Amino acid sequence: MRLQPTLSSPSLRRISSHARPNVLGLRAEDALRRWERRVPLTPTAVGAFVREGVKVLVQPSDKRIFSDEAYDKAGATITSSLSPASLVLGIKEIPAETLEPGTTYASFSHTHKGQEYNLPLLQRQLDTPSSRFIDWELLTDDNSVRTTAFGFLAGFSGMSDGLSLFGTKALASQGCATPFLTLPRPFMIPDVDRLKAELRRVGGEISKNGTPKIMGPIVVAVTGSGRVGKGARAVLDELPTTWIKASELQSIVESSDTDLRRIYACQLELGDYLTRTDGIPFDRESYRTNPDLYYSQFDSKIAPFTTILLNGAFWQPGYPRILSTAQLADIQASISPSRFLSVVDVSCDFGGGLEFVTSPTTIDDPVFQFEASTGEQHRNPGQPHSTQISSIEILPSQLPLDSSTHFSEAITPYVTSLLRDPKSEATNEYSRALKRATIVRDGKLTSNHVGLYELLKANKEKLGKTEKRKRVLLLGSGLVAGPAVRVLTSRRDVDLVIASNSLPSAQALASSHPNATAVLLDAGDEGQLEALIKSSDVALRYSLPLFCTLNKTSLVTASYVSPAMEALHEKAKAAGVVLLNELGLDPGIDHCSAMRLIQEARDSGNKQITSFVSFCGGLPPPSQSNGPLGYKFSWSPRGVLTAALNPASFRLSSNHHSISSSNLLSSYFPTVPIIRGFALEGLANRDSLPYLKEYGLPEDIGTILRGTLRYPGFSKVVDGMRRIGLLEMEAGKALAATGWEDVVDACLRLKGLEGGDGRKESIKSFLEDNSDREELLQDLLETLSALSLIPSSTPSLFPLPEFPAIPRPPLDLLSSLLASQLKYGPDEADAVILHHELGTVNVHGEDELFTSTLVQYGTPGSDSAMATTVGIVRPCALRIHLDLADVSFLFLIKANRSWCTVDFIRRSVFDAWPCLAVKRSGLETTPRQLRAAWGQASRAKEERKRSPSGVGEGDGE
């Protein structure tokens, strides 16, 4: 396959007239680039240069498409050293350590865009005296058209490879052996001509026997009409392909008369799937200038009728995606299982036009299977509701012979020009092109690339900054500290101090990290605490804002922004410190994912939002939920219990509800329908209404509700514990109990009631007199007995902790006991569930529900899910203080603001939890189900408002 260069070649005869001997070097591509078998010049081209008096040096290589012997026969010298060469050619980046002064280098250097990973190479190029660096990618004619592009072969290779890999996907997922199952992959075939022959063979089988009826017609959609699109089309033209318009897709797929002895293909135009929000027909110029007026309907117009998608379209930020993760989730859930089976992304704009394509695959590991509703990537092509993704970045390398031949012909005029005119001083089209393609010359960036100086400067400052060590103070060594310690100590510029009232646990955390130390901290010693804070740059703690502000130490915390914290804003600003709040799971990741969900809905064109529901909870997995409370503690029991004592407000189906702190546990949602397989109940979480403003939601939205998840029965039993006094936390109500089994009786005595033989009746007097009273009493007594809070004939779950010698409030005692009795065993793991639902109305007036779900499991014997989600987010946020030169705009920030304004934190969270995927469906269900559950619970409460002995409490709404 011969692809002629755009420009005519200067005469080779003129090279030998140059006064200085010409030495041309061809480097061997790095061994780590195992699939890079292409060469810049073929032996034929080398032979032509040799005959004209050019000495050619070729580094030996065992993987190159042309053998060393072929270059030797062409007259080249096979040698490891290219030092004598005045001009060195390569395909990929030339390693910094091999650069030599006085040499011109040409390759795909991947530096001209300021790629961060190659800034050190760019700096080394600037530091190499009297040298010149040319990037093949920048070679253009005078009309700015690239003359050395591989796009056609990328499209040809990608389409051929995609069809071959589709054969495996169809067999595994549909149980169908299509003719593509026998199509070799491109790298298995010597050249394009023989690959075309294989395609025609497969096409002959299709023409004769057709494709499997159970799959229906095989339809290929191609985006992009440039070189990539032309290459893909060339492949399909070797098959019995009928080219159709986008408007014909549905009829082709749904018609029983469609000929299955044909393949159907559609080369898509932008207007085939992009729609203006105001209904005006697509206009390319309008789209270029006002992309925000358009949204993609690929999910409804194209995907349901497509078998394979090859994406060769260019995409850039600010423009609508072809297909979002949310739309793919909807497609996978709703369309025929034989549709949208495979995606070949030749563009490799990761996270771009196809949002769910976030990383490259390789020639030897070419595909993964993706389930958009969970974000799971796996290797089982037979798993239902999964789409096969291929995103190979070096597709032309699968056709090294044709790629090398094409490239050699394309660059020969430029190589000739460089050998004849090394400084490109002539005024012809080749010299002009080479000047434009030169990035570095004689230690300076050329005029077209001077902007890279700023990136080099910033990178140098960043590297210099890492030499300035930061002292980070982590206060506490508890259940969520482990992941935070590992993330923080992974930074070489951080010295971590772990201060804890348990020195052994702090030492265990620090022992394997040379930049971590442990110190014993007496929390009651304010002098020691202040000294630790004063000597640190940043502190990580739930609450110490005043100390930090006074001592000019920044603070990163998972706590909500309290009024007291808010009042420190001006003091923090004056002190020049950052106070970052709400950086955990809830609050924290929940805000981040909520904002992403809302933006996803708006990007899809759904401007009207009707409801927002969010629930989050740390729970045992269902298999371990059969113990007391249906719960185990992966973080502070006191924190869990006090969270259940907060008042709450929310709006449900346009009705406002306010719940007092004393009634929160009795005013729960009996069922929360989120994930199949999980039976859950819910508690309203604080005041949901301020999040209308924080999330940018309409003030008149019908439903706004944030809640906490628990297993059924938790709320009623813990409410019973509250009623008998176990959640009292005031120091004046310290219990004079004789041991753990006397704690409940001591609470009853404090209220003037009997324990011992009268315990059951005393407890019963606190419970509402209704049909559930006896059942609840039995559940409560069984729980108290299992926890050894009343005398029990069964042994405790774990050895009981030592009972405090000094009287303590009931909540302190209960928290200490629960930390011992309901802890996770070494072979047990916890789970975290976070779920959002956003009700919207689309441009057609139809209800659409967007959902976002995270299910994180802990690792037995290692990090809990709670530790992972809470412990990692704060170190991600800590990068604000450690990495940003200017933090003056931060001072005091809630997470729901910082997730929106500090983009690299948001990216860190979604890198850690890609399963925060978005799914879209057509019905807004959960608010209705919650409303029904709430109404049922409220009616039941109305029927049993009578409270015996005046001890019970009212509804509080």
CB 438 within 8 A of CB 140: no
235-269 burial, b at 16+ Cβ within 10 Å, e below that, comes to: bbebbbbbeeebeebeebbeeeeeebebbbbbbbe
CB 408 within 8 A of CB 414: no
Angle at 294 between CA 291 and CA 300, to 5 degrees: 140
Distance CA 656, CA 721 (A): 28
Distance CA 517, CA 472 (A): 11
Residue 538, beta-bridge partner list: 472, 554
907-918 burial, b at 16+ Cβ within 10 Å, e below that, comes to: ebbbebbbbbbb
Distance CA 805, CA 871 (A): 33
Distance CA 263, CA 203 (A): 9
Helix orientation angle between 151-174 and 400-420, rounded to the nearest 10 degrees:
160
Active site residues: 586
Q: Is 949 left (phi over 0), alpha (psi -120 to 50) or beta?
A: left
Cα–Cα nearest to 564, from 552, 539, 581, 540: 581
Task: Classify residue 914 by its DSSP letter.
Answer: T
Distance CA 271, CA 274 (A): 5
Query: What sign results for the dihedral spanned by CA atoms 239, 245, 249, 252?
Result: negative
Distance CA 649, CA 704 (A): 9
Q: Prior bond to 563 cis, omega within 30?
A: no
Task: Classify residue 731 by its DSSP letter.
Answer: G
Could you tell me the two tokens for 44? 């034929």
Cα–Cα nearest to 172, from 16, 384, 426: 384
CB 429 within 8 A of CB 141: yes
Between strands 387-390 and 367-371, the pairing is: antiparallel
Angle at 30 between CA 26 and CA 33, to 5 degrees: 125
How far from 862 is each of 489, 621, 828, CA to CA, in Å? 17, 16, 10
Chain centre to alpha carbon of residue 441: 40
How far from 258 is each of 120, 250, 871, CA to CA, in Å? 57, 11, 57
Phi/psi at 666 (5° precision): -90, -10
Could you tell me the two tokens for 20? 């200085």
Distance CA 238, CA 639 (A): 67
How far from 355 is each of 325, 371, 592, CA to CA, in Å? 6, 13, 18
Could you tell me the two tokens for 32? 């780590």
Q: Supply the DSSP string of 132-185, one letter for each residue.
A: EEEEGGG-B-TTS-BSS--HHHHHHHHHHHHHHHHHHHHHHHH----GGGGPPP
Cα–Cα nearest to 50, from 76, 82, 77, 18: 76
Q: Supply the DSSP string of 820-859, one letter for each residue.
A: HHTBPPTT---EEEEEEEEEEE-TTS-EEEEEEEEEEE--
Distance CA 225, CA 230 (A): 6
Q: Is 340 left (phi over 0), alpha (psi -120 to 50) or beta?
A: left
